[in-house]
Chains A and B, each alone.
Chain A
């Protein structure tokens, strides 16, 4: 009996705990896979088989049919390929940009002390509000309103800074960044639409790339701040003593050290961009249509076309799985960063 609770070797689990751990993990694996299995099976079903009641095993419970796959890949193949390529392009570019810009900012926020003045922030908000008010209520054109707002900011900065001396810190910047995620997209969608409409960039991949990059930047910053925090300063200090510039430290030293965090963050942001629905709905019409729109569109007036929807869901998972498999060796290798901490 005792042997069940004792581990044979150091670093290994005793048999009973090992069984429990495996049991729990396998149970959750089932929880994860069963819905996806159901989606897979549904993609091979005819409408009648879906409506009749649950059938679980192809060839045993029902005859699988390829009609949904044919419809998506062959009959409307062109209409499927375009969103697919769009999604891949937009997701990868926006992720790359977000991670690049965000990591820089995250590194800066952990190593450099910022003290923006409250006066400057308040005045900035006031200037932008003035510009918006001038454009919306007084009907001034942007060409007039922008310089006026800029003037307000420049002229008012010194006097206001003398009155209000309070300063914010790094944590406030951090919090401001993450607070950008709070406003529900349904409300910011229309102003963003109007912004892109004014510069004639609607229905372009560029608009979506820029929007996604901006939307995901706060998450990159937040996660990378944590990972950078975990890297001890001594390494940088010795590198600085050797005469490396800040840029070299960041690119040649810090980023490789933070690789597990970097990869995890890249994956998460990639997924968020790949799966985003509402802003894509607004900013795209025909050219820049992305996959989530196609999935949602399967809910037609006749009711959800479960079979074609399942096909699309599965098609959407494939590139992400490939990407994860590709990157996972970095996660696995780099996560043993005991060398850094220890």
Chain B
């Protein structure tokens, strides 16, 4: 063939190819759409996002650009991008606890969620569906991960000590004391309890995990941070005092360096075989069965956060014994208040993104949350996703595949399920500027308390004063209305 016919054939071939791909693109729902999704650097959360993003792209043609930033800076980066009008990020996987600050920038997803049958919203645990995803009655996020605190224990240690898993904090301290410093078979002495106590880390959540059962007994709407009727901080009373004492006492049976350990350190220590008890999010379950990271494979049990037989009488500020009226949700006379710390990573969409991008982003999050994908992801520790759907507890198959024994899986899932189904779950603080209340005021006071600078009374007074000052500065009526709306109080 001569030169011209070659080029003619080439041109024809190219056009045909283009036409074909165009036709193919035509059938893909979001062809040509580029989605910028931001989260923190993984592998947790970012890895499943990238993986599912690729699958999503193959199915719908939308290009998913996963942008990651260091975990401690995610909040600032997103906020700067959205509040200054830059809007380079279309969607993000963020923490629902940031909702009060972000709500002005997020797209209201209520109509989409309602119309989405594949999402199986009915399968999502009520706490996440009604509280975590919503703000002011509207849904703003798609839950991808269920986050709350559970207590973990070493089954072999408890068996050797002849104890049952701790149902109250007094029992927790008992076990910690009994186990502290003893060798249970690997030649190294273990510590009784590992709980994160580092400054600016997680200690402000941990104290609420301890104090919750003392402060809240009548359900989520009773509130555990403020008294919704008066907006008085619930931090200067006998219940919080007892919680502070317990928290400090766990340090007596903990590693020497505990005051400088955050949850990453305590988790590593527990899974490395160094602690008898710990309080953490759901990550320890899958981590404990990973032979590359764990020395306690099949030796870990989990249960709902220990509770208390005495609760706060808000009028007098004193602790009173539980009875049927005071603690309607008590289990065997013990009031339990699992704490949904932080909220669980969820997908949210920028209200100012382009309409096609918004549709594509919602489709992506829905895809990731649907049981077909989600149920597999929550069994893999590296994804960072923890269970939040009822169906994730029914089928043991994926958990066994991940390496959990029958007993371990039942234990772990049981603890999560108990917490999820508890009507007395503590909702994390969700009023505007909650970071200043918790991560600055409460955390600084806790750090000074643990360092010995303040005593119990001084700590409580300090937190109460700073929270009251914040309320006054930010507008007490406004904060109260926001607090009531978040916990559904009347």
Contacts and interface: CB of A to CB of B under 8 A. Distances in A.
Interface in A155-210: 190, 193-194, 197, 202-203
B267 interface: yes
B268 A51 contact: yes
Interface string B262-287: 11110111011000000000010000
A297 B70 contact: yes
Given A297-B68, A297-B71, A299-B72, A193 B264 contact: no
A63 to B, nearest CB: 13
A244 interface: no
B412 interface: no
Interface residues of A, number: 27
A311 to B, nearest CB: 14
B71 A48 contact: no
A47 interface: yes
Contact of B41 (A47, A193, A197, A298): A298
B41 A304 contact: no
- The interface centre, meaning the residue of B44, B65, B80 with most chain A CB atoms within 10 A of its CB, is B80
Interface string B237-278: 000000000000000000000000011110111011000000
Contacts of A299: 70-72
A50 B265 CA distance: 11
B19 to A, nearest CB: 31
Interface stretch (B83-91, B307-315, B451-459): B83-91
Given A300-B71, A303-B264, A285 B81 contact: yes
Contacts of B271: 51
B67 interface: yes
A285 B283 contact: no
A206 to B, nearest CB: 16
B480 to A, nearest CB: 30
B77 A303 contact: no
B295 A48 contact: yes
Contact of A303 (B72, B73, B85, B263): B263
B43 interface: yes
B53 to A, nearest CB: 14
Contacts of A46: 292
A67 B268 CA distance: 18
B70 A285 contact: no
Contacts of A202: 86, 88
A95 to B, nearest CB: 25
A47 B40 contact: no
A300 B268 contact: no
B71 A301 contact: yes
A300 B43 contact: yes
A181 B360 CA distance: 45
Interface string A267-298: 00000000000000110011000000110111
Contact of A48 (B84, B262, B263, B292): B292
Interface string B14-54: 00000000000000000000001010111111000000000
B69 interface: yes
B38 to A, nearest CB: 8
Nearest to A294: B41
Contacts of A300: 40-44, 71
B88 A302 contact: no
Given A296-B70, A300-B43, A303-B263, A282 B80 contact: yes
B88 A301 contact: no
B88 A285 contact: yes
A197 B86 contact: yes
B49 to A, nearest CB: 13
A52 B272 contact: yes
Contacts of A194: 84
Contacts of B384: 301-302
Nearest to B38: A285
A293 B40 CA distance: 11
Which of B44, B70, B77 has the most C-beta atoms of chain A within 10 angstroms of its own C-beta? B70
Given A48-B272, A285-B81, A302-B267, A293 B44 contact: no
By Cβ-Cβ distance, the 3 closest A-B pairs, closest first, are A303-B264, A297-B41, A51-B272
Interface of A: 46-48, 50-52, 190, 193-194, 197, 202-203, 281-282, 285-286, 293-294, 296-304
